[in-house]
Structure 1
Amino acid sequence: MVEVIPKQLKDVWNTWNIRGMIVLSLWLQTVLIFVSPSRKRTPNKFLILLSWSSYLLADYSANYAVALIANNQGKDPKPDDPPQDKKLVALWAPFLLLHLGGPDTITAFSLEDNALWNRHFLSFGSQALAGVYVVVRSLPNVLWVVIMLLFIAGAFKYLERTIALYLASSDMYRGNSIMQTFNSVFDFTEEPNNQDIESIIAHREHLGQLKPRTLRIPSRKLTHLEILQYGFFFFNNFKSLMVNNIFSLELRHESKAFFTATKLEDEEALRIIEAELDFIYEGLYTKGAVLHSWIGFVFRIISLGLLLSAFIIYHYSHNKIQEFHKVDVVITYTLFLVGIALDVISLLILMVSDWTTAILSTLKDDPDRKDSRKDKILNWILGLKRPRWGWQTCSHQHQQEVLNTPFLLRRWTGSITMFNFITYSMNAPTERIHNPRVGTCHLSWNTMFCPISYVLSIIQTWSRNMAIWFRNLHRYAIHHLIILPPAENQVTRYIVYIIKTFVEFWFRVPYFFVFMVTCIIDFLNINDMFHALRPVRSVDREPLPKKLWSFLFTELQDKSQILESLENTTTKSSARRDWASSHAQVQIADQEILLRYITDVDYDHSLLIWHIATELCYQREEWDKESSDKPEYHSNRKMSKILSDYMMYLLIMQPNLMSEVAGIGKIRFRDTLAEAERLFKKKGIENSKDVKLASDVILSVDTSIDPRDVKGNHSKSVLFEASSLAEELQRVEKEFGQEKWKTLSKVWLEFLFHAASHCDATARMELLSKGGEFINFVWLLMAHLGLGD
């Protein structure tokens, strides 16, 4: 009796364990299909963590459930079980194969997953064998037809995912550019005759019919459909950019002529690049490349048809209640209905996707030709999904037009992330430049996560206080309670030593667990993820101002034309290679003291100096309304502030992206931060959290002697170099009438252009799955204008 009870409990546990894992696997599929599309729209850490955990658990839960089902098939039925219940449980194995195929909205969480497509192919083989093993062990089975249909549907679904991972791998993109061969009809090693020449001409005419459509230069305002078509054209012809491959000069000249056309508006260029980046995301992280091909269409029709057929056969099978557990019948119906619903939702998402719209239409040979009825319908649908702009109020009641697209219609986050050095050093909350209108979606999101944020803040505060109390208790116990007077004998000393060692051991136990957790995090290489989950008060996001994009687009067009006019190839190469381009130097060429902060220092050194100097100038004029009535002056001031904080965010918070240009930027940041904290503590303002006050204190320090001559190489701090630069900018504006904010905006564009053309390719593509970044737009626009490395 003692042995029977544990065995019965174990059997019950195994049965409910199988049911729980099946339901969990289905729930994870539902979460992924609805949550994963938001990855390209927002960098929200909770959504990324939810997608990441669901992505990993989806495979683990399905594999574990298959193992449980296989183990369960070899056991004898219990006396109170229905006669055919294990036959029904065997039906769940092909469902798990369907789940392993994953939803259409996510195939890879990161680019490394695409590189493991061969591992997924081997996993497909092992899971298929496990499914076959379960089915064979369940024979004879009254549901064998249903199992066979589901097994074929699951195989097609898993193959879809594997093919999608293969098509998105970097080897595939690199291979496409070098593995394609040209089958010529003419042997150039032989002497040609008239017949051969005629065949060459005929073949050339045939190739001309298959040649990709020539890019037409826009001569009027583009429609929503044409913008999407151009984005799809550039995506198909510039795929090699994703792996830093070069492309043909013909394509480059076509692209450059298109984006430098006088009729192309800046907003149209933004929307074309936005569509192109969205296609890149779909190709890298979803099943888009497979589903929009003929093989993907066939796979989807077959798998959905088989799933529906299997459900109909199962539904009309007799004696389900008598032969199976009622709970298992309900679970099976849930698997069928939810699976069919998810497939239908995926099909609807596929039908309304931009990729489908681009395939259903082609660029017209004659732009003035009247649109067909199909084009009008597609254009109307795309009009509903177009980016929106809205007016938001800045300081001094100045208004700016910023990107304000509703969340569900976004192709990227639509904002610029900002990180400020002085705000961070004062531990002060970030001051917003724009006052956003709180929408319903934003309000609902904050309402939903406000309790969670509040609880996390309480836990964080409690944990910090507990750690301080525990440390103080440890010190007090060791140094005050367990002490040994000098006159005690050896036995007493030995006893006290044992007690002290025992107490020391128990106080070290929490540190041991912290050490183990740290080792696990290092072993799994997820340090960056945990660091990103920590809230940083000095990081904030600002919507993209329309004037900033217009300013940037115009500057890049001018740079492209200037570069094209240079006849010396060496000069062209130098202009691309040097981070401080000649155009930026022209703006301040008459001021050697300003120029040396660009040409005589490294990129990261210069960026930190100009960032702090920009903030000092910005805070000094916060209360000065003398020039705030000038729209251009005010716009340049805001743009300089946004670009300055954005570049500091990239340098400090995106080290993988900026690895090629960052140098020792983090060391400089650390030393500068330490010097700022010493200064604030000396002045007694370390707890004030007043950024304006901190700026005044920095500017009040005497910098008549060059700070680099004072500190030498002992410190990498640039705090007082930045103060000197800020003073010099103010002096130049007063004495020479050269508007400092115009100069600063030009300089910050050069910082951005250099970073965009030298950032890491893999990290650049990774950003697309985290809401995207503004630097992706700058990089792609520079590549189309022939300005990238």
Structure 2
Amino acid sequence: MGLTDVGINDVELSLKHIFNQWELRTCILLSLFLQVLLILAGPLRRIVSHKSLDILLWSAYLLADVTAIFAVGLISSKQNDLSNQCKNAPSPSSTVLATFWAPFLLAHLGGPDPITAFALEDNELWLRHLFALFTQCGAVIYVFYQSLRPENLWIPSLLMFLCGIIKYAERTYALYCASANTFRDSMLRDPDPGPNYAKLMGEYISKKDAKLPTRIEMLPEPDRVIKVVNRMKTTKLAPLEVVQYAFKYFANFKGLVVDLIFSFRERNQSRDFFLARSYEDAFRVVEVELNFLYDVLFTKLPVVYYKAGFFCRAVSVGAIVTSLVIFHYVDKKKFNPEGFEVGITYTLLIGGIALEAIAFLMLIFSDWTVVKLKPSPDENPNDQSWTGRFIRCVVSTNFTRGKIICWFLNIGTVRGDGSRSEPTDSRWAESIANYNFIFYCLHRRSKTKERFYDQFGLRAFIDEMVYTEHYRLASDMKEFIFKELKMKSEMADDLDTAKEICSARGEWVLRIEGYSGSELFSYVSDVDYDESLLLWHIATELCYNDKEDVTYQREQDRSLDEFHRRISKRISDYMIYLLVMKPGMMSAVSGIGLIRFRDTRAEAYKFFESELSTADKSLPAEQLQKTACERIINVNTDVKPVTIKGDRSKSVLFEAARLAKELKKEEFKKKWEIISKVWVELLSYGASHIRSSAHAQQLSKGGELITVVWLLMAQLGLGDQFQINEGHARAKLIVGK
């Protein structure tokens, strides 16, 4: 027994020794690896909409801070233990390198340039990061105090400490600038007291008392908008012009994120510009605008591009390069006979320089460089100077970056027709998620699995992974959406009309098409927005799988008719995806949408269990979908469901069947044209009424079509974020006739 106990104790001591020896090394290397992962994968967030990437970056973002803070604590703890063991002896040489590692961890806490905040809420925690900056600086200073001596690596340690402070301060300042209050305050104009009222009235009264003919007139300021429009280019925009115009309108409209109000002049200028654009140019400009907004909210780029930022970055790079040179010429034999700690130190130094080099390339090859060197779109885009050629190179690189990344990761999504799509040069994911109610109900999981997922809060996550498909946003869909918005913008010459159009949820389209007094009109005017989404989604699916529609589409070559049918299907599935899978984003407009969805789903479960036989359920998925839709639409709905069921259940399954029967009364082409236009109006209503912060949050997740539509509507002057009074007149005292 004694020998056995001794053997067990030896194993425990051996394992404890290995753990003590490797825990700090592992944390140091893991911290560096997380920095590399974040700087390389962080930029993908704006153009990749994949749950797996989201989870990976979220884990790395949180783990990076925890690992660095834990490693600093480990260094301090180990040095404290060693100093207690040998109080009067000099610091062991093995602890000197650990002391040198501490400021590297402070630099790691500063994080890479492409990802300062994972979510908008992180920006509001800038005070917490400021406090952490002071506490971690204090921890590193305490580490220096414990073991750093003049004969040790004190010069490179202090240089790296300076680098760490700069990096962490950059991150804290970037979070501060992107916080809602600071962001809003930065866009407020200087207070305008207006004309000197007391002085003007004093002069007015004195002239009156002197019996002089006196009056006050309001003189409008020169209309600079008309001059700008007259010079505005109406041909296709070059890539450089896209970036320049995008920055111009980003600077004007970035206040949308914090719900600022814009002037009538700004509305007209932007509206005239976008009305003169093709759908390709309009979408490209808006996409680059959203990229600028992403950089401001989630990265360090806007902070670094200040003169102070450039200076701090130069000092940071110089400090780490100097540290490497000094460390290279130091006698390293006294640090560690095995040389492993020395290897880790070289890895940290070279890795830090590599991270700075990558960050520098990202700074140079960014849209911010373009607008800093050539901000005006009125300048010659074909400038042949070295600056002009360099700028065009940067723009070309940025517009092809998405194509390269998509090719490298093989993440091309599926086209609407089911084929694989080629990677695009888009600045966002440019895909739309589709979630179909009927398909979901037909392919439900077992009740045991549903209860298990519900118990652990995984149901929504699993549903999105299993029941959601992603399709490439087709060019003709962009064109159709822009055409509808452009038509409404042309009609909205005044702000009252613009607000009325934005508040329409299908009424405007039906009124234009002559259905204002029809039964169809009640399905958009007399129901809540979330109910309208679910009603039109199920009705669209019933019509899409209707035998007559399928036969008509197959027997006749009706490409235009099929186009409206496909558009309706895609937007319908996309909007129900937003309603069900993104309730946080849609909370401002969804009402009791999830309750209504759950009740409708329960009724669909019950109906399919009784109406679909075992043979039906064994059919291929597409045929099963058609059969299920046929069974629903064949139910007699002469009496309204609410008359029989009451309003306890919020299910709209058979009310949607009534809507589908109303739509079936229309000729094929007319029916799908109406449905597609109603869906665009439902999309635009949601886009303009969702909270602006919810739109901004989606920029870090690959972007959403509804966010692009939101900004496009604002640029076209559609919305309620504009003030009615123009506010650009001035008072003048006129004496004499």
Task: Using structure 1 for the length normalisation, give the TM-score.
Answer: 0.78
Match of 2:111 among 85, 102, 106: 102
Deviation at 1:785, TM superposition (A): 1.3
2:642 corresponds in structure 1 to: 708
Matches for 1:154-303 after TM superposition, within 5 Å: 154-178=164-188, 180-181=190-191, 189-190=198-199, 217-261=232-276, 264-303=277-316
2:729 corresponds in structure 1 to: none
Distance 1:70 1:585, change over 3 A: same
Matches for 1:295-444 after TM superposition, within 5 Å: 295-320=308-333, 325-365=338-378, 372-386=385-399, 404-406=422-424, 410-427=426-443
Match of 1:69 among 69, 75, 90: 75
Match of 1:60 among 61, 66, 72: 66
Inter-partner Cα distance in structure 1 for 2:378 and 2:328 = 53
Matches for 1:553-564 after TM superposition, within 5 Å: 553-564=482-493
Distance 1:338 1:779, change over 3 A: same
Distance 1:403 1:246, change over 3 A: farther
Q: Does structure 2 retain, via aligned residues, the 8 Å contact 1:636–1:742? A: yes
The share of aligned pairs that are identical, in percent, is 39
Give yes or no for the alignment of 1:619 onto 2:545: yes
1:440-461 residue CA offsets vs partner (Å, 9 max, x unmatched): xxxxxxxxxxxxxxxxxxxx99
Distance 1:748 1:628, change over 3 A: farther
1:488 corresponds in structure 2 to: none
Deviation at 1:379, TM superposition (A): 2.6
2:470 corresponds in structure 1 to: 541
The answer for unaligned runs of 5 or more in structure 2 is 204-221, 404-411, 721-737
Q: What's the Cα RMSD here?
A: 3.5
1:635 corresponds in structure 2 to: 563
Q: Does structure 2 retain, via aligned residues, the 8 Å contact 1:405–1:414? A: no
Inter-partner Cα distance in structure 2 for 1:637 and 1:126 = 60
Give yes or no for the alignment of 1:739 onto 2:667: no
Give yes or no for the alignment of 1:663 onto 2:591: yes
2:29 corresponds in structure 1 to: 23
Q: Does structure 2 retain, via aligned residues, the 8 Å contact 1:45–1:532? A: no
Give yes or no for the alignment of 1:597 onto 2:523: yes
1:137-169 residue CA offsets vs partner (Å, 9 max, x unmatched): 113251000101000011111111011111111
Moved more, 350-359 or 105-114: 350-359
Give yes or no for the alignment of 1:32 onto 2:41: no
1:377-425 residue CA offsets vs partner (Å, 9 max, x unmatched): 4334433543799999766x9x9xx98435xx54211111111111111
Match of 1:140 among 134, 139, 149: 149
Inter-partner Cα distance in structure 1 for 2:379 and 2:145 = 62
Q: Specify the SS of the correspondent of 2:589.
A: coil
What amino acid is the match of 1:103?
P
Give yes or no for the alignment of 1:750 onto 2:691: no
Deviation at 1:544, TM superposition (A): 0.8
Q: Specify the SS of the correspondent of 2:433.
A: strand
What amino acid is the match of 1:331?
I
Matches for 1:517-532 after TM superposition, within 5 Å: 531-532=460-461
2:731 corresponds in structure 1 to: none
Q: Specify the SS of the correspondent of 2:587.
A: coil
What amino acid is the match of 2:680?
L
Task: Using structure 2 for the length normalisation, give the TM-score.
Answer: 0.84
Moved more, 718-727 or 707-716: 707-716
The count of aligned residue pairs is 671
Deviation at 1:338, TM superposition (A): 1.1
Inter-partner Cα distance in structure 2 for 1:11 and 1:188 = 82
Inter-partner Cα distance in structure 2 for 1:328 and 1:81 = 19
Inter-partner Cα distance in structure 1 for 2:343 and 2:646 = 76
Inter-partner Cα distance in structure 1 for 2:686 and 2:384 = 42
Q: Which has the higher contact order (CA 8 A, sep 6+)?
A: 2
2:97 corresponds in structure 1 to: 88
Match of 2:130 among 115, 121, 130: 121
1:453-499 residue CA offsets vs partner (Å, 9 max, x unmatched): xxxxxxx99x979x99xxxxxxxxxxxxxxxxxxxxxxxxxxxxxxx
What amino acid is the match of 2:164?
G
Distance 1:574 1:715, change over 3 A: same
Inter-partner Cα distance in structure 2 for 1:73 and 1:677 = 65
1:312-344 residue CA offsets vs partner (Å, 9 max, x unmatched): 000011243565651111111111111111111
1:655-705 residue CA offsets vs partner (Å, 9 max, x unmatched): 111112111111221121122222211123473441111111112211222
Distance 1:558 1:273, change over 3 A: same
Inter-partner Cα distance in structure 2 for 1:63 and 1:715 = 53
What amino acid is the match of 1:148?
L
Inter-partner Cα distance in structure 2 for 1:319 and 1:367 = 57
Matches for 1:472-483 after TM superposition, within 5 Å: none
Q: Specify the SS of the correspondent of 1:660.
A: helix
Distance 1:391 1:113, change over 3 A: closer
Inter-partner Cα distance in structure 1 for 2:383 and 2:464 = 54
Q: Does structure 1 retain, via aligned residues, the 8 Å contact 2:502–2:684? A: no
Inter-partner Cα distance in structure 1 for 2:82 and 2:636 = 88
Q: Does structure 2 retain, via aligned residues, the 8 Å contact 1:404–1:414? A: no
Deviation at 1:557, TM superposition (A): 1.4
Inter-partner Cα distance in structure 1 for 2:322 and 2:104 = 14
